[in-house]
């Protein structure tokens, strides 16, 4: 499945999230990737389709449910590795340094991941959004120290600009035992 555009919206109400999901699906020719509850009592919707259709759908939901929206983003030309990570796929091999970007929303973690992998030659080791983490999101990337540093800086800056940055770290030479847990 080759996705070019992804739209994500998080709402602070499950009831309104389900309602918004229905509206999004009826507002433009798009396809639902995921719609689920997230901690603590959030609802997250991820859709794909042509850029203009995804933008229309997300914009309409933002307008209609503005008092419930936590975060949203439309990503045109999203990196394939980010899509793979969204579905649980990760880099095959760990190498070099490790970088982590943690955000206060799953939506901002997805955009931070896309920003990070476009900024430097890194691979996503793991990406987790919203579920079981109090609604937070994080990405873990690997590569050489210069690329990991650049990726973490760029991904973090996006989250900071949105007011959704929770933290970051860079490990130049991770302990050998750590690799089996990241």
pLDDT (tens, 9 = 90+) of the chain, 182 residues, equals 456 789 999 999 999 999 999 999 998 899 998 898 887 888 999 998 999 999 999 999 999 999 999 999 998 888 888 878 877 766 666 678 999 999 998 889 999 999 999 999 999 988 888 666 677 889 999 999 999 999 999 999 999 999 999 999 999 998 888 877 77
How many other C-beta atoms lie within 10 A of the C-beta of residue 150? 18
Nearest to 124 by CA among 107, 106, 157, 147: 147
Domain residue spans of the chain: 5-76, 81-181
pLDDT at 89: 66
H or E stretch covering 51: helix 51-64
pLDDT at 146: 96
pLDDT at 92: 66
CATH topology of domain 5-76: Alpha-Beta Plaits (3.30.70)
Would the CATH topology of 5-76 be identical to that of 81-181? yes
What predicted TM-score, i.e. pTM, was given to this entire model?
A: 0.80
CB-based contact 182:94 (threshold 8 Å)? yes
What is 81-181's CATH superfamily? BMC (bacterial microcompartment) domain (3.30.70.1710)
* Cα–Cα dist 104/56, whole Å: 25
Burial 62-95 (b: 16+ CB within 10 A, else e): eebbeebbbbbbbbeebbebbbebbeeebbeebe
* Cα–Cα dist 145/169, whole Å: 12
CA distances from 73 to 13, 48, 171, 172 (A): 18, 12, 29, 31
């Amino acid at each position: 499945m080759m996705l070019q555009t992804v739209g994500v919206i998080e709402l602070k109400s499950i009831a309104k999230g389900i309602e918004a999901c229905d509206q999004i699906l009826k507002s433009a020719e798009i396809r639902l990737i995921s719609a689920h509850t997230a901690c603590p009592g959030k609802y997250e919707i991820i859709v794909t389709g042509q850029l203009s259709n995804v933008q229309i759908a997300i914009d309409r939901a933002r307008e209609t449910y503005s008092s419930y929206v936590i975060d949203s983003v439309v990503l045109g030309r999203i990196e394939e590795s980010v899509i793979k990570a969204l579905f649980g796929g990760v880099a095959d091999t760990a190498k070099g340094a490790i970088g982590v970007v943690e955000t206060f929303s799953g939506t901002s973690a997805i955009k931070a991941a896309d920003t990070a992998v476009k900024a430097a030659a890194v691979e996503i080791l793991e990406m987790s959004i919203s579920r079981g983490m109090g609604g937070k999101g994080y990405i873990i990337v690997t590569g050489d120290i210069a690329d990991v540093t650049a990726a973490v800086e760029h991904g973090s800056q996006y989250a900071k600009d949105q007011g959704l940055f929770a933290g970051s770290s860079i490990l130049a030479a991770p302990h050998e035992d750590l690799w089996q847990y990241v």
